[in-house]
A and B are shown apart, each in its own frame.
Chain A
């Protein structure tokens, strides 16, 4: 808060939106360029978009420790935003790396795919740096609209259609609730600025019993909870994750989720600080519900993609524990965990991208049988990602979870931490089952169709490096996460 006040308030400050601006420009130029390429040639666009992400990343890093505010306080590019920007950029980069060969294999070599990912990322960055509900809303919509298209990208496939439509309808539905919440908060406080709302609520004598504030705060949260995939707003997650193209699923589970957490944290921590008791209690229930539903239902899944979708629900639950804690340890824990989750989950999906046949009907548990012996590298990579998802040391999944749970313990939520540990223990069952199929079942198929595409391998290697580095030497990144809290 004090930091915010020190930042010079200029109306137009392009510095403050530079990363997303650059990314949007790249996206639009790439759309243009793609027109001049012959049909089916996507590789140049793919590499150009990687360059775009790298350039944006460099610009973001340059802005570290140099907070910029602009547009009448509607946008701020502080360390918090930069941390999330980088997380989203990493997610987008890993996704794009694994996409090109995948698009060709599935028969949709369409160049618009890459600009759409860039727009999604720009929207995500917009959300992370929005300090006005209006800018956050815009970011959310830029992100969502691009994602609706990407989820339904394989337009000849019914599954992809269904994923796109379900995501679209439910997403638009939740947007309605969120907007209503914004309107109510605006009505009570007379502003849509995050800091202004906080000020107005603080001055109100009985804010936590004012129905308009409470309803507004909850409805606003719905929009974020929907994007995060927290129960009971998680219903879209498994279907959409299963039906969407696999790289998009990977991306959705990491980048947009991180962005939603970013905006959610900024809004709750700053605007709704006076309602901490009520909000924490709500998050407590939702966190437990989310973890439990995700984990228990995942047990019954045979389709690995769908199983990972439920697992991603449960991971949203773990991250919500940091929101319950409502202290700097918990919040910086979420920052760290989102980065960790980006590496481990996208890595796992990248392995699935490689071992899938056209149409991806073989991504079931039975289809994984003997993978560890037929394709040792992919087996080991998958094992590392699964260990990290289970939360076993010394992988990043462990340090990330520990960080968040330490925040909960600091705030005195022992039971929550124990329920979290219990859930991790349950989650072991379905992650382990994949391992069992990979290593303790005789191969049914010889995996001869698996082409070790260089770019996908690179993204797997980056993910492995990330998981191990953040597991063994997370100190520096944790330090950054701590410095990133407003």
Chain B
């Protein structure tokens, strides 16, 4: 029997994978995908809990999160493109102008 805990654990693992990805990957697109993974693991938690509690709030929340993630994707990709035009790179290690 798969209970809510299994979903929660799965989403926790996904969340952890996402944050490890943010911490380790170089490519900005990949980092961004990892962040999306984190957000979606949260979505999974919400849906599981919503089902478990028999309460729709969580599912509504998921829609909001998805919308926001889409908006963030648009802005984030635009920023990455602007950077690419100046530097011909999408590696995070290539910006170190602002430091110390």
Contact = CB atoms under 8 A, between A and B. Distances in A.
B43 to A, nearest CB: 8
Contacts of A148: 72, 75-76, 79
Contact of B98 (A138, A145, A183, A239): A239
A186 B61 CA distance: 10
Nearest to B73: A172
Given A155-B82, A161-B83, A172 B76 contact: yes
Contacts of B99: 239
Given A168-B76, A173-B35, A175-B39, A159 B98 contact: yes
Q: Is the interface of B mostly helix, strand, loop or mixed?
A: helix
A140 to B, nearest CB: 9
Interface in A170-198: 172-173, 175-176, 179-180, 182-184, 186-187, 190-192
A342 interface: no
Contacts of A175: 39
Contact of B97 (A137, A168, A243): A243
A242 B95 CA distance: 14
A interface, over-half SS: helix
A179 B65 contact: yes
Given A168-B75, A176-B35, A191 B57 contact: yes
Contact of A186 (B57, B71, B95): B57
Contact of A158 (B18, B57, B86): B86
B13 interface: no
A31 B21 CA distance: 37
A239 B95 CA distance: 11
A138 B68 contact: yes
Nearest to B47: A183
Contacts of B76: 148, 168-169, 172
B83 A182 contact: no
A401 to B, nearest CB: 28
Interface in A112-168: 134, 137-138, 141, 145, 148-149, 152, 155-159, 161-166, 168
B6 interface: no
A148 B78 CA distance: 10
Given A138-B64, A162-B95, A183-B42, A152 B82 contact: yes
A161 B15 contact: no
Contact of B45 (A137, A180, A190, A191): A180
B45 A187 contact: yes
B98 A169 contact: no
A186 B49 contact: yes
Contacts of B42: 176, 179-180, 182-183
A157 to B, nearest CB: 8
A238 B35 CA distance: 23
A173 B80 CA distance: 16
Nearest to B74: A145
A165 B80 contact: yes
Interface in B52-81: 52-53, 55, 57-58, 60-61, 64-65, 68, 71-72, 75-76, 78-80
B87 interface: yes
B96 to A, nearest CB: 8
Contact of A145 (B45, B60, B71, B92): B71
Interface in A18-43: none
A461 B79 CA distance: 35
Contact of A134 (B15, B61, B71): B61
A293 B12 CA distance: 32
Given A164-B79, A176-B19, A190-B53, A158 B87 contact: yes
A187 B68 contact: no
Given A173-B35, A183-B49, 9 more contacts: A134-B57, A148-B72, A161-B82, A162-B97, A165-B83, A168-B75, A169-B92, A180-B42, A182-B42
Smallest CB-CB A-B distances: 6 pairs = A176-B38, A155-B82, A239-B98, A162-B95, A183-B45, A187-B49
Interface of A: 134, 137-138, 141, 145, 148-149, 152, 155-159, 161-166, 168-169, 172-173, 175-176, 179-180, 182-184, 186-187, 190-192, 238-240, 242-243
6 contacts: A134-B64, A148-B79, A187-B49, A190-B53, A239-B98, A239-B99
